[in-house]
Each structure stands twice: as C-alpha cells, then as structure tokens.
Structure 1
Amino acid sequence: MESHLRKWCLVSMLVLFLNLGFMIKAEPQVPCYFIFGDSLVDNGNNNRLASIARADYFPYGIDLGGPTGRFSNGKTTVDELAVLLGFDNYIPAYSAASGEQILQGVNYASAAAGIREETGQQLGQRITFSGQVQNYRNTVSQVVQILGDENSAADYLSKCIYTIGLGSNDYLNNYFMPQAYSTSTQYTPEQYADDLIRRYFDQLNDLYLYGARKFALVGIGAIGCSPNALAQGSPDGTTCVERINSANRIFNNRLKSLVQQLNNDHPDAKFTYINAYGVFQDIIANPSAYGFRVTNAACCGVGRNGGQLTCLPGQPPCLNRDEYVFWDAFHPTDAANTIIAQRSYTAQSSSDVYPIDISTLAQL
C-alpha cells in the first residue's frame, strides 16, 4: 500500500511540474530588438505615408491573417528572427508602437528607403536611414523616461539586438535607374559603394552614441536574380543579371570590411555581417534542397514572370506559395525569408556570417 502511495505521489508531482513548465514563459534571449531597413522588413510604417511603396492590401499578408504592410505573403526575416530570439510577439512598427511596448523593441523600416537621402523619392514618402535613426533617438528618450534615468536606459539598450539592412534601394531605386537619378554617371560601382559605406558609418555611429552595442549588419541580397531584374535585363529570363550582382558584391565586401573596422574601433560593442547574398545564391542554385520549385518568377505580379510590378490590389496569387522563392517582383516569400533568418540566427556555413551569427551575438 505504501509503495503504491509513493508512486502515486511521484506521478502527481511530475504532472504538476509539467503543467507548471507549460505555464512558465521563457524570457527572450535579449530584452529588446530594434530593426532598421527597407521593404524587405517594413511591417507597416509606410501604411500612413503618401507613397506608392505600400503593401497594406490583399494579397499581401494572405498567410499572416491579412495585409499589415509587410511585402510578403507572410513573415519577413525579422519576424522569424523575433521568434528565434524568443519574443512572444513580432516587433511592432514605429508607427504603431507606444508606451512600455517599446521596451521590447521597435521596427523602424520603411519601404523604398535608402542610405542616401534621395533614394526612392520617385515612389513618394519614405523614412530614410537617417530618418529611422532619428526615430530611434525619439524612442531612446521614451526609454529613459520609462526606466527613470539615462544610466539605466544605457545599460538596458546595450543588451539589445540591432539589425540593419539597407542599400538595396540605393541600387534598385537610384544607381540602376538612370532615367531618374544621375549617380551611375557620377560614380563608378566602387566609388558608389564607398559613398554608401561612408554614409552608413555615420548612421551606425549615431546608433552607437545612443546606446546600441550589438549590431547585425545585413548585406544586400542578389538583386540581379529577382524577377524584376530577370524581366528587364536577362536575355533568357533565367540568368541572373551580373552587372547588378557585381555592384551588390562590391557593397557587401565593403560592409564586411566595415564590420572588422568597427569591431577594432569599439571594443565595448560587437558588430557582425550577415551574408544574405550568399544564402540567397545558395537557395537559387539548389532550390530543391530547400523545397522550392520556382526561382525565376513571382507568385504574384504583372508582366514577364510577374517581374514588372508588385502584386496588384485583389490579385489572386499562386496557390503553391511555399514552392516559390519570390513572392512578388522584388521580395521573397515567407518560406524563403524563414530560411534566410534561420541561417542568420544559426550559421549553416562559415560564409553565412562574419564573425558570428545572431544567436551568438545575443549571448554576449
């Protein structure tokens, strides 16, 4: 009898501990996550702007409960990164974040934004890199008010992750748009990359001065492989446009060198480079290994392989979305975004990041 009673007590205690385990929420790996970028990670900041670069209509968000302003059928890379970092919710857009909600981080990204101020101006209003940094400064002032003093705020912010991914529009909606911009006649690809990196450095320095210490700088993807580039510059509609990709690699190499320089200059901070270009090229070269079937066409859009325009309002998208790398003319699907985020968080290969992945950055 005593033996049975002891067993019953042990089983009851085990059940109790299991139930408690389900009730206890794990803390995120970092207290907050701040995001700077363009349409690849915008989650609604452009919804209230007078801009053509908006995604607050169907079929955008079709797999995420409806349109939110994300340029995807579902999650963006930073949404997936927020999940991997242990946050219960996606990081809110600056336009919607308020009160103590900002203590978990803010997404400042804006579609059509660039490193250069004029980039994307033909599409209407957008929040440039410098504008996003200014918005972050406003957030820091709020954090100081909530936490009570500057030292507490500085200590808190130093533990947070900051991802920065800009530069794509400086090529798409500037350098490779000679009908609207003169930069391609003013700069060689090398000179243009140098100019972008100088401006990039200035904004990173401001973020550092306002408390940021853990930086993940995301390189430009293989823009020359997008349905838009293929529709306009590929003779067969499948071969990536090397003229564009070559310029993107020059910028990425400069960005990687900048990471090394910043790590040397700021021993109290940590910078890392995320090789989105390399991961994307791997997906394009080995689609079946990742479950993809279509790499050269968009799930929805207009023109040759959906590459001329983004999805039109109300346009029915493809049904087999997880088999497509690209959602529209420029932006990856939820499935592709998830892979890029996962390899940024936990590097699959030594070339995915430099020098560390985001999971390691979070632990520092």
Structure 2
Amino acid sequence: MEAKAKPWLVLSLLMAANCMQYYCAHAEPVVACLFVFGDSLSDSGNNNNRATLGRANFRPYGIDFPQGPTGRFTNGRTSVDFISEFLGFLKLIPPHADTSSSDVLKGVNYASGGAGIRPDSGMIGGDNIDLEKQVRNHSRCHVYASEKWILFPCVANVSCCPSPCLANRTPCQNRSEYVFWDGLHPTEAANRITAHRSYNDIMGLVHSSI
C-alpha cells in the first residue's frame, strides 16, 4: 500500500531557564531543557501501556534503534531525538510515562500517538493523551516557553514497512533511502533531515536572544 505524502506538524516547546551563551564552552547542552508535545511523530513510548491500537513497542518498529522497539513510530530515532542530540543532551528526552521527579530537570516528552488538539482526536484507535492532557501533565513545570512549528515537505510516497506495519513484518533493507517508515510516519533518515532544519532554526533564535 502506498503512503500518502502530506505536510505534517511536530509540536514541540523549547524551554530555556538560563542564559545560553556559555553552555557550549562547558560541554553543557545548548539549552537548559527540552519539553515535547505532539502525536505519534514525536511519541517516544507514552502509549505503550495504554488501551489503544496506536502503539509501536514491537518489531519491526525500532529495528534501527539501539534499544530496539521503545514505542517510537519509526524504524529508529525521531526528529525530537535528533534535535536533543544536536542541542548537546547526553540522553534522549524521556517519555512522561517513564519519568521520575529528577528527569524533568532536562526535559520530558509528553507526545502521544493519535493525539490531537480536540479530546476526541484519534480515539477511534483507542486511548491517547490529547494536547490538553499533555499541557496539564506539564503544568507542574514553571518555566517560560516558546512555540516551534516544523513543516516537512513530501519526496517519495512508498513506505519502507508495508502498511499496516504489523508485528514482525519484514521492512525494506535500504531504509536510509525512504521518507516514510509506515503509511503515516517518517523514517529515521527523514527525521534526521527535519531535525537539522529545526536545530538551525533553534540556534538562530538562541543567538538572536544573546
């Protein structure tokens, strides 16, 4: 089945609590923390234990991720994962479902597969954490935020893992040449490109604020 190439949005909030200009010299992250809101394009495991068909904690999802399947809706890392690496974080931003009190100091991923602005968005597949709930989960963190929207254009329209990407299905071998992993989500290769663009935009904002 062919994947429909369409513009997509990744909603993430970039939180900066301190002055950024000395971080690089001290091998610190470029920003103090990173908080992520969104849907399956950014979800890193928040749906794993929810009553929903919108889960990706099984192979071949995660086939190129060091830890294997984690709940990410792609073969490897998401754009958010790459952005956190580019910003200098030594660890990937953890999903809210797996965080403890100390984890929130560096950031949290609140994204949930199938989530939307409306509470009933994506509910046909089961339970999810809509945007209002994601913001509510974040309400305990009292920091300043700025919003960032990222658009991804469409190259090819064929998915690497035949849609629907069922458990233990054999995906394509040349995954780095595909834009779409399954019928809806980009591959790690596409996520890297998006993350590079986002990182450049973020750095432009950081430098302009110094």
Normalising by the smaller structure, the TM-score range is 0.7 to 0.9
1:73-222, aligned counterparts within 5 Å? Answer: 73-138=75-140, 140=141, 210-216=142-148, 218=149
Is 1:358 matched with 2:207? no
2:182 to 328, 331, 341: 328
C-alpha separation between the residues in 2 aligned to 1:329 and 1:72? 11
State the match for 1:64 in structure 2: 65
Q: Is the 8 A contact 1:214 1:361 kept in 2?
A: no
CA distance in 2, matches of 1:43, 1:74: 11
Q: Which has the higher contact order (CA 8 A, sep 6+)?
A: 2
> Percent sequence identity over matched residues?
48
Count of residue pairs brought into register by the alignment: 183
> Post-superposition shift, 1:77?
0.4
> 1:67 offset after TM fit, Å?
0.1
CA RMSD of aligned residues (A): 1.5
Q: Note if contact 1:300-1:327 (Cα within 8 Å) is conserved in structure 2.
A: yes
For residues 140-194 of structure 1, give each alpha carbon's deviation from its aligned partner in whole angstroms, at most 9, with x where no partner exists.
Answer: 2xxxxxxxxxxxxxxxxxxxxxxxxxxxxxxxxxxxxxxxxxxxxxxxxxxxxxx
- Give the match's secondary structure for 1:33: strand
Distance, in Å, in 1 between the alignment partners of 2:26 and 2:190 is 29
Give the whole-Å Cα distance in 2 for the aligned partners of 1:28 and 1:83: 9
Gaps of 5+ in 2: 1-24
Gap regions ≥5 residues in structure 1: 1-23, 141-209, 219-273, 285-294, 303-308, 347-356
Cα distance in structure 1, aligned partners of 2:110 and 2:144: 15
What amino acid sits opposite 2:29 in the alignment? P
After TM superposition, what 4+ stretches of structure 1 lie above 6 angstroms from structure 2?
A: none
Question: Given residue 105 of structure 1, which amino acid in structure 2 is its aligned partner?
Answer: G
Distance in 1, Cα, partners of 2:54 & 2:144:
29
Counterpart CA distance in 1 for 2:96 and 2:117 is: 19
1:245-287, Cα deviation, whole Å (9 max, x unpaired): xxxxxxxxxxxxxxxxxxxxxxxxxxxxx3x14xx24xx1xxx
- Structure-2 separation of matches of 1:337 and 1:78: 8
Counterpart residue number, 2:32 = 31
Larger helix fraction of residues: 1
Residue 4 of structure 2 is matched in structure 1 by none
Partner of 1:313: 167
Q: Give how far 1:117 is off.
A: 1.2
How many Å apart are 1:25 and its aligned residue?
6.6
Structure 2 counterparts to residues 290-309 of structure 1, below 5 A: 295-302=156-163, 309=164
Which amino acid in 1 is paired with 2:205?
L
1:50: how far off? 0.3
- Superposition TM-score, scaled by structure 2 size: 0.83
Which of these two proteins has the greater Rg computed from alpha carbons?
1
Distance 1:117 1:49 in 2: 16
CA deviations over 1:288-331 (Å, ceiling 9, x no partner): xxxxxxx12111123xxxxxx2x100111111100111100000
C-alpha displacement of 1:48: 1.0
